Amino acid sequence: MRKRILTAVLCSGLFFGSTAPSLALTHHYRTYRQYVKHKRRMKTIKRVAIGTAGGAAIGALAGGGKGGAIGAIAGAGAGALYDAHEKHHHRY
């Protein structure tokens, strides 16, 4: 008896939980300014992440675990410097 009640409660919760998002607003339109700011931020994150991953890989090959951590920090710094350099080209 307990299992049936628990099953009924879980099923109804899943049913009503899945129907609620379909009633919500599904389209969010961005202004051009919002689009540009988001794209700029994503490019920054991508550049720093690539620098971090590259630095960690080279550091790990050269010095093991501690070298990987040092390389990741150096790579993140290099990625941030590269991003600052690229932002001055007045492109998004």
Q: Confidence class of residue 12 from pLDDT cuts 50, 70 and 90?
A: confident
32 contacts 92 by C-beta, under 8 angstroms: no
Q: Which residues of 28-44 are buried (b: 16+ CB within 10 A; e: fewer)?
A: eeeeeeeeeeeeeeeeb
* pLDDT(92) > 60: no
The predicted structure's pLDDT at residue 6 = 76
- Tens of pLDDT along 32-91? 998 888 998 999 999 999 999 999 999 999 988 899 999 999 999 999 999 999 887 765
Model pTM score:
0.61
Tokens representing residue 76 in the block:
């993140």
Distances (CA, A) of 1 to 14, 15, 19, 24, 45: 20, 21, 27, 36, 53
The predicted structure's pLDDT at residue 76 = 94
**Domain spans of the chain?**
2-87
